[in-house]
C-alpha cells in the first residue's frame, strides 16, 4: 500500500521507522535484529536509506591514480523487497540523485515497481567526501525536484526512450524531505519553502522532516507551509540521543539546533548512559505532544539501533 493511502485511512497518528543498510560483510540478519524488537508497535511502513559508495584514490606512480572503493552498503531496493516479504509491511526505498544518471534512476524505479514496492523517497543526497558542493552525475539530476518530475512522468507512462512509449506506467507514491530549520544550503526559510512547494507541485505526496528536537519549530514550519499552499501531510522525524558522540555529531552533521533545556541536560552528562536517559526522556515528551496534537505519523530515525526507540514507544504507544 502507498504511504499516501496509509495516511488517508489513519484514524490516529501512524508510526514508521528508518533503517540503514548494513555495511558490506554483514548479512540480512543484522537488519532483522534491528526491526524485530519494534514490530510489536505495528509500524505502517519502514524506510531504507541509500548511501553512495565512498572512494579513495591511491597514487600508483607515473602520475597514475587507482580508485578504491572503501565503503559500500548493500542494495536498498533488495533490502526493501526482503523486508516487505518477511514482515508483510510496506517499505520505502530512498533514491538519491548523487551517483545516478537519469537512465539509472529509471532502471531503479522500474525495479521497484516490478518488485511490488509502492513507494519511493526522492532525495538529492549529500556531496561526496572531498567535494565542497554537490556535483550531479553526468546526465543526472542536480535537484530532488527533477527526480520527482521523472518519477511522476514514469507514473504517467513517460519513459526516457521513445521505443518504450508502449511500456506500462509505474504507480509509485512519491515522498520528499523537508527541513523545519531550513536546508543548510538554502538562502533563507522563504526560499527553502518555495523550493519545497516546487517538489509538491511536481508530484510529492507527503513530506518527512529532518530530525527535530524542538516541536515548536515543527508546528511553526507546518503552519508556514500551509500558508504557502503546501497541503500534503508533513511527518515529523525523531531521534533519541543515546551517546556522547551524538552531542557533537548530530547537530553538526544534520544542521539542527538543540533546545536550551535539552542542551543544558546534555552538557551535564558524563557517560553514554546519562545521554541515553536524557535522550529517551526528551523524545518521549516530544512523541506524546506530537501524538496529542495530531501529527500524521511519527517517523523514528533508528540508525540501525532499536533499543532507545523501543523505550520511547513503550512509554507512549
Closest by CA to 195, choosing from 243, 157, 151, 146, is 146
Percent of the chain residues topping a pLDDT of 90: 77
The string of pLDDT tens digits covering residues 65-103 is 554 444 454 589 999 999 999 999 999 999 999 888 999
Query: Which whole number is the average pLDDT over 26-51?
Result: 93
- At 308, give phi and psi (nearest 5°): -70, -40
The residue among 281, 230, 236 whose CA lies nearest residue 256 is 236
pLDDT in tens, 210-229: 999 999 999 999 999 999 99
Residues shown for the chain: 317
Question: For a pLDDT cut of 70, what percent of the chain falls above it?
Answer: 88
Rounded Cα distance between 250 and 233, Å, is 25
The pLDDT of 104-115, averaged and rounded, is 95
pLDDT for 159-180, tens place per residue? 998 665 578 899 999 999 999 9
**Whose CA is closest to 197, among 228, 171, 172, 173?**
228
Place of cell 507551509: 225
Query: How far is 84 from 240, CA to CA, in rounded Å?
Result: 26
235 neighbors 209 (Cβ within 8 angstroms): yes
* H or E element, residue 6: helix 3-9
pLDDT of 207 higher than 70: yes
Is 301's pLDDT higher than 60? yes
Q: Which pTM value belongs to this model?
A: 0.91
pLDDT in tens, 222-277: 999 999 999 999 999 999 999 999 988 899 889 999 999 999 999 999 999 999 99
127 band by pLDDT with thresholds 50, 70 and 90:
low
**Rounded Cα–Cα distance for residues 45 and 38 (Å):** 12
The CATH number for 3-316, chosen from 3.30.465.10, 3.40.50.1360, 3.40.50.720, 3.20.20.220, is 3.20.20.220
Q: Are 312 and 287 in contact (CB under 8 A)?
A: yes
C-alpha grid cell for residue 28? 540480512
User: Could you give the maximum distance between any two Cα atoms of the chain, in Å?
Assistant: 67
Question: How buried is 166 (Cβ within 10 angstroms: 0-12 exposed, 13-18 middle, 19+ buried)?
Answer: exposed
Element (H, E) at 207: strand 206-211
DSSP reduced 3-state for 8: helix
Amino acid at each position: 500500500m502507498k504511504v499516501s493511502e496509509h495516511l488517508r485511512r489513519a484514524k490516529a497518528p501512524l508510526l514508521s521507522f528508518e533503517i540503514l543498510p548494513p555495511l558490506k560483510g554483514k548479512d540480512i540478519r543484522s537488519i532483522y535484529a534491528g526491526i524485530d524488537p519494534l514490530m510489536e508497535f505495528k509500524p505502517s511502513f519502514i524506510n531504507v536509506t541509500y548511501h553512495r559508495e565512498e572512494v579513495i584514490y591511491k597514487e600508483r606512480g607515473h602520475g597514475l591514480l587507482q580508485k578504491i572503493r572503501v565503503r559500500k552498503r548493500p542494495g536498498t531496493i533488495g533490502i526493501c523487497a526482503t523486508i516487505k516479504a518477511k514482515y508483510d509491511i510496506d517499505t520505502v526505498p530512498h533514491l538519491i540523485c548523487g551517483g545516478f544518471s537519469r537512465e539509472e534512476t529509471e532502471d531503479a524505479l522500474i525495479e521497484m515497481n516490478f518488485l511490488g514496492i509502492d513507494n519511493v523517497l526522492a532525495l538529492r543526497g549529500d556531496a561526496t567526501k572531498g567535494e565542497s558542493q554537490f556535483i550531479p552525475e553526468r546526465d543526472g539530476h542536480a535537484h530532488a525536484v527533477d527526480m520527482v518530475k521523472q518519477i511522476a512522468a514514469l507514473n504517467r507512462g513517460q519513459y526516457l526512450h521513445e521505443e518504450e512509449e508502449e511500456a506500462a506506467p509505474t504507480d509509485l507514491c512519491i515522498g520528499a524531505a523537508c527541513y523545519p530549520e531550513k536546508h543548510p544550503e538554502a538562502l533563507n526559510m522563504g526560499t527553502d519553502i518555495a523550493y519545497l512547494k516546487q517538489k509538491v507541485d511536481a508530484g510529492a505526496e507527503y513530506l518527512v522532516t529532518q530530525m527535530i528536537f524542538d516541536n515548536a519549530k515543527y508546528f511553526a514550519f507546518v503552519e508556514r507551509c500551509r500558508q504557502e499552499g503546501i497541503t500534503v501531510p508533513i511527518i515529523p522525524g525523531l531521534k533519541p540521543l543515546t551517546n556522547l558522540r551524538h552531542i557533537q555529531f548530530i547537530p553538526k552533521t544534520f544542521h539542527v539546533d538543540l533546545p536550551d533545556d535539552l542542551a543544558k541536560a546534555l552538557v551535564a552528562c558524563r557517560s553514554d548512559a546519562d545521554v541515553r536517559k536524557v535522550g529517551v526522556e526528551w523524545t518521549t515528551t516530544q512523541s506524546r505532544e506530537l501524538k496529542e496534537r495530531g501529527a500524521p505519523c511519527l517517523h523514528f530515525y533508528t540508525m540501525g539501533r532499536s533499543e532507545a526507540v523501543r523505550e520511547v514507544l513503550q512509554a507512549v504507544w
